[in-house]
């Protein structure tokens, strides 16, 4: 049976400006039948990350270049609907690098069969990139100790929501920073933060002084820019500043602006260090096992924001830059647009 496969390709590069729908083009063709050792997967859910804008811009050089006309890359979960690989019979739920398309034909070894007990969406969120980033970044870079005061920016997003919860498990006092009252409420009521600051309406510096009078021991930064700069003025002695992301650069063509308060790192004998998740692959099995256990115990809540309809893929990515998403941004391909 011939299946029509729709896919979103890169039509333009959003350099120095926001991502728009016009940066993408919808194309369609026949889904390819699987050859020996391959499977045909119907994609059920796709995961979205701010880094996708950087991939379209070819910034950073830590992933392969994209070309105009390439299908947008992305991870998803789906269901095997045709199989020429005995290990993955029809009906198997799989995780894989499917890209923004409805059907993917790919070698069996490039997908991972999913454990039936865990909701498939968790493999794209709390057990996927965001959970692993939180776990590995905390373990290797932020290194929180029980009793530390920790500040998390972008705290109600995908990575931030997991960092806040793992920092609580580690015994820290956690202050989350996010945009809007809904997000600050979520941080305290659902994610267990001790305090939350709405950076859109509060005086961030004054709030940090009030909430962390002895200074901040650990900073987890997802946003960069003026928010990071303000935080750097409130460090405690020997603070660790983990640079995970710099989403505030999303409207500019270059890298996040340098923080003029960086010299406080000297006065406070602090360290500031960036990292890329890919460098910690050796930790993934243990990280997934521990995150799964905390999820099963209820100590970790998987916060997901699930949009509907394949035609909404570009708009779903744009939610990350307007701050519309709460928790990990996902898209369910079926359902109403
Ligand atoms: N280093 C690594 O290996 C690695 C791995 C994964 C992710 N990351 C990075 O981690 C960060 C978080 O990723 P995520 O997937 O969890 O995304 P996310 O936090 O779920 O989504 C983005 C959030 O960023 C905030 N934001 C957007 N524009 C902003 C601005 N101009 N200033 C301040 N905040 C802004 C918004 O929340 P508000 O409403 O609160 O503003 C938005 O909801 C990203 O920067 C990403 O690139 C790094």
Determine whether the shortest distance from the Cβ of 130 to ligand 1 is under 6 A. Answer: yes
Query: For the residues 310-326, what does the mean pLDDT come to?
Result: 97
Nearest residue by C-alpha to atom 27 in ligand 1: 321
Determine whether the shortest distance from the Cβ of 159 to ligand 1 is under 6 A. Answer: yes
Q: Which tokens go with 331?
A: 């898209």
pLDDT tens for each residue of 97-149: 999 999 999 999 999 999 778 899 999 999 999 999 999 999 999 999 999 99
Asked if residue 50 belongs to a domain, the reply is yes
| Angle, helix 284-297 to helix 129-137, in steps of 10 degrees | 110
pLDDT at residue 257 greater than cutoff 90:
no
Residues 103 and 189 grouped into a single domain:
no
Q: Which tokens go with 10?
A: 């890169």
Band of residue 61 on the pLDDT scale cut at 50, 70, 90: confident
Phi-psi region of 13 (alpha: psi -120 to 50; beta: other; left: phi over 0): beta
Top mutation candidate among 323, 324, 328, 331 for ligand 1, by most atoms within 8 Å of CB: 323
pLDDT at residue 85 greater than cutoff 60:
yes
Residues 100 and 193 grouped into a single domain:
no
pLDDT at residue 208 greater than cutoff 80:
yes
Top mutation candidate among 164, 178, 245 for ligand 1, by most atoms within 8 Å of CB: 245
Task: Count other Cβ atoms within 10 Å, centred on residue 94.
Answer: 25
Percent with pLDDT over 70 in the chain: 99
Determine whether the shortest distance from the Cβ of 96 to ligand 1 is under 6 A. Answer: no
Determine whether the shortest distance from the Cβ of 121 to ligand 1 is under 6 A. Answer: no
Asked if residue 284 belongs to a domain, the reply is no
Asked if residue 231 belongs to a domain, the reply is yes
Residues 40 and 72 grouped into a single domain:
yes
Buried b (16+ CB within 10 A) or exposed e, 268-283: bebebeebebeebeeb
The size of the chain, in residues, is 337
pLDDT at 256: 77
Asked if residue 295 belongs to a domain, the reply is no
Asked if residue 297 belongs to a domain, the reply is no
Closest Cα partner for 42 from 112, 125, 113, 103? 103
Q: Which of 263, 278, 293 is the last residue of a domain?
A: 278
Number of domains in the chain: 2
Q: What is the average pLDDT score of the chain?
A: 95
Residues 316 and 216 grouped into a single domain:
no
Query: For the residues 312-326, what does the mean pLDDT come to?
Result: 97
Determine whether the shortest distance from the Cβ of 52 to ligand 1 is under 6 A. Answer: no
Residues 144 and 79 grouped into a single domain:
no
pLDDT at residue 335 greater than cutoff 70:
no
166 CB-near residues (< 8 Å, 6+ apart): 134, 135, 138, 300
Determine whether the shortest distance from the Cβ of 34 to ligand 1 is under 6 A. Answer: no
**Closest ligand 1 atom to 158 CA:** 16
Residues 116 and 146 grouped into a single domain:
no
Q: What's the sign of the alpha-carbon dihedral 93, 99, 105, 106?
A: negative
Residues 237 and 315 grouped into a single domain:
no
pLDDT tens for each residue of 6-49: 999 999 999 989 999 999 999 999 999 999 999 999 999 999 99
Count CA atoms within 13 Å of residue 90 on its CB side.
5
Distance 133 CA to ligand 1 centre (A): 12
pLDDT at residue 299 greater than cutoff 70:
yes
Residues 181 and 272 grouped into a single domain:
yes
Determine whether the shortest distance from the Cβ of 156 to ligand 1 is under 6 A. Answer: yes
Q: Which of 262, 278, 294 is the last residue of a domain?
A: 278
**Structure-token match 């019979």, residue found:** 89
Q: Which domain holds residue 207?
A: 129-278
Asked if residue 32 belongs to a domain, the reply is yes
Asked if residue 288 belongs to a domain, the reply is no
CATH of the domain at 204: 3.40.50.720
CATH of the domain at 105: 3.90.180.10
Residues 184 and 242 grouped into a single domain:
yes
Maximum pairwise Cα distance, the chain: 68
pLDDT at residue 88 greater than cutoff 90:
yes
Nearest residue by C-alpha to atom 9 in ligand 1: 245
Query: For the residues 61-68, what does the mean pLDDT come to?
Result: 92
Asked if residue 289 belongs to a domain, the reply is no
Distance 209 CA to ligand 1 centre (A): 24
Closest Cα partner for 67 from 148, 153, 111, 9? 9
pLDDT at residue 187 greater than cutoff 90:
yes
Residues 138 and 156 grouped into a single domain:
yes
Nearest residue by C-alpha to atom 44 in ligand 1: 245
Phi-psi region of 264 (alpha: psi -120 to 50; beta: other; left: phi over 0): alpha
Residues 166 and 243 grouped into a single domain:
yes
Determine whether the shortest distance from the Cβ of 223 to ligand 1 is under 6 A. Answer: yes
Closest Cα partner for 8 from 22, 18, 17? 22
Closest Cα partner for 271 from 239, 243, 319? 239
pLDDT at residue 336 greater than cutoff 60:
no
Band of residue 337 on the pLDDT scale cut at 50, 70, 90: very low
pTM of the model: 0.95
**Closest ligand 1 atom to 200 CA:** 41
Distance 269 CA to ligand 1 centre (A): 27
User: Exposed/middle/buried for 58, CB within 10 Å: 0-12, 13-18, 19+?
Assistant: middle
User: Exposed/middle/buried for 183, CB within 10 Å: 0-12, 13-18, 19+?
Assistant: buried
Whether the Cβ atoms of residue 197 and residue 211 lie closer than 8 Å to each other: yes
Residues 91 and 190 grouped into a single domain:
no
Distance 17 CA to ligand 1 centre (A): 16
């Amino acid at each position: 049976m011939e299946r029509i496969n729709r896919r979103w390709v890169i039509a333009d590069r959003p350099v120095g400006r926001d991502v728009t729908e016009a940066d993408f083009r919808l194309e369609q063709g026949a889904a390819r039948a699987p050859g020996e050792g391959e499977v045909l997967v119907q994609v059920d859910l796709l995961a979205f990350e701010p880094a996708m804008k950087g991939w379209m811009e070819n910034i950073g050089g830590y992933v392969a270049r994209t070309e105009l006309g390439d299908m947008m890359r992305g991870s998803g979960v789906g269901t095997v609907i045709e199989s020429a690989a005995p290990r993955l019979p029809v009906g198997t739920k799989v995780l894989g690098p499917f890209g923004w398309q409805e059907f993917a034909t790919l070698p069996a070894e490039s997908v991972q069969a999913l454990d039936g007990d865990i909701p498939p969406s968790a493999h794209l969120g709390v057990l996927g990139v965001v959970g692993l980033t939180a776990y590995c970044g905390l373990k290797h870079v932020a290194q929180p100790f029980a009793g530390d005061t920790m500040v998390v920016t972008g705290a109600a997003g995908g990575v931030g929501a997991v960092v806040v919860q793992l920092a609580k498990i580690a015994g820290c006092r956690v202050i989350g920073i996010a945009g809007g009252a809904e997000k600050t409420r979520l941080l305290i009521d659902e994610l267990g933060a001790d305090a939350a600051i709405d950076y859109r309406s509060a005086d961030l510096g004054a709030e940090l002084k009030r909430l962390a009078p002895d200074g901040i021991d650990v900073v987890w930064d997802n946003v960069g820019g003026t928010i990071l700069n303000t935080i750097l003025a409130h460090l405690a002695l020997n603070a660790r500043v983990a640079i995970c992301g710099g989403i505030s650069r999303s409207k500019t063509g270059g890298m996040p602006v340098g923080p003029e308060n960086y010299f406080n790192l000297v006065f406070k004998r602090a360290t500031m260090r960036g990292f890329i998740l890919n460098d910690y692959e050796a930790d993934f099995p243990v990280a997934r096992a521990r995150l799964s256990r905390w999820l099963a115990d209820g100590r970790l809540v998987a916060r997901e924001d699930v949009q509907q309809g394949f035609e909404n893929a570009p708009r779903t990515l744009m939610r990350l830059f307007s701050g519309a998403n709460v928790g990990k941004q996902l898209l369910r391909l079926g359902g109403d647009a």
